[in-house]
Amino acid sequence: MDFTGLFEMQGMLFTIMILGYIFRKAGMISDEGKSLLTDLVLYVTLPASIIKSFQIEFNHQILVSCIVVIVVAAGIQVGAWLLGMILYPGFPDERKKVLQYATICSNAGILGNPIAEGIFGSMGLLYASIYTIPQRTFMWSIGLTYFTQAPDMKTLIKKVSTHPCIVSVVIGMLIMVFQIPVQGFLSLTIKNIAGGNTFLAMSLVGTILAEVPFRSLPEKDTVYYSFIRLFFIPFLVYLACHFAQVDSLVTGVSVVLSGMPSASVTAVLAAKYGKDEVFATKCVVLSTLLSMVTVPLWCLFLA
């Protein structure tokens, strides 16, 4: 089993994060620049990346072969949402919201797709692409409510439903289901804007990390979260797939992707909506560091 692709992706993410750290320390990114970087990710590059992720072939044959993946992935999201409600009692609200979001939202998109392709081949990549659909839907619907406050439910629903990332999910699903062609300059524009998302998001994490002492990363709460994200959730997924006699390839992809570290967007949203962005960054960084050990171990276990 070749882990080269996995280590290359993790190395790339950390390299970009360190660049953001250096830019902040050198004064190249000010507080205003950090705020601009946050808005660029949330309102420009991330929506483009979401739309791009839905531009995959979708016909009857693929629908039949991937229906189990969608069911399993949706079940994982519902389970993660329920776990978020019971696993963090007694945590301060600002931290609890970060932990709940980070529990339903992993880095399955950026890290998961290339890892699934490298470990499980072309079908693994296809399944991974389908797997991320329920996650993207959850992270920009239920997940967004962890950060967005409103005086009443009607206002909250309006704020969430009009968020650029939710609008992008709807547009992306319409493109995928109805196979709407996106061509010419429009396709090129979306592709190039989306291509900047990883760089901007991880750079932003680096700028936040510049304000965090490295020795403070492994605190009790971040270690606890990393255990939940990297071991407990994929372990539950494995047990559920095993007892349900799910196809081995679907099981493998689901377990590995459910064990991805926290997504950088967790820190982005915490910074945007005034939650504990430092704690969110610690969760992203520590879980990503530890995933360099846990993800290969899961792959070996499933081999």
Smallest CA-to-CA distance from 277 within 94, 122, 126 is with 94
- Decide if 27 is inside a domain: no
Q: Chunked in runs of 10, what are the mean pLDDT values of the chain (303 residues)?
A: 68 86 90 84 82 75 75 92 92 89 84 70 73 82 77 63 78 84 90 86 80 81 94 95 88 91 85 84 87 86 82
pLDDT of residue 224: 95
Contact 57, 177 (CB under 8 A): no
Range of the domain at 174: 4-20+40-302
Smallest CA-to-CA distance from 33 within 41, 53, 296 is with 41
pLDDT of residue 100: 93
pLDDT of residue 150: 55
pLDDT of residue 240: 93
How far apart CA 11 and CA 211 sit, in angstroms, is: 22
Q: Which two tokens stand for residue 267?
A: 């820190």
pLDDT of residue 83: 93
Burial class (CB in 10 A: 0-12, 13-18, 19+), 57: exposed
- Decide if 216 is inside a domain: yes
- Decide if 29 is inside a domain: no
pLDDT of residue 142: 82
pLDDT of residue 185: 92
CATH code, 131: 1.20.1530.20
- Decide if 25 is inside a domain: no
pLDDT of residue 59: 66
pLDDT of residue 202: 80
How far apart CA 170 and CA 7 sit, in angstroms, is: 33
Number of domains in the chain: 1
User: Reduced to 3 states, what is the DSSP secondary structure of residue 163?
Assistant: coil
- From the DSSP assignment, how many helices (H) and strands (E) are in the chain? 16, 0
- Decide if 33 is inside a domain: no
Instruction: Compute CA distances 98 → 110, 180, 260, 296, whole Å.
Output: 20, 36, 16, 26
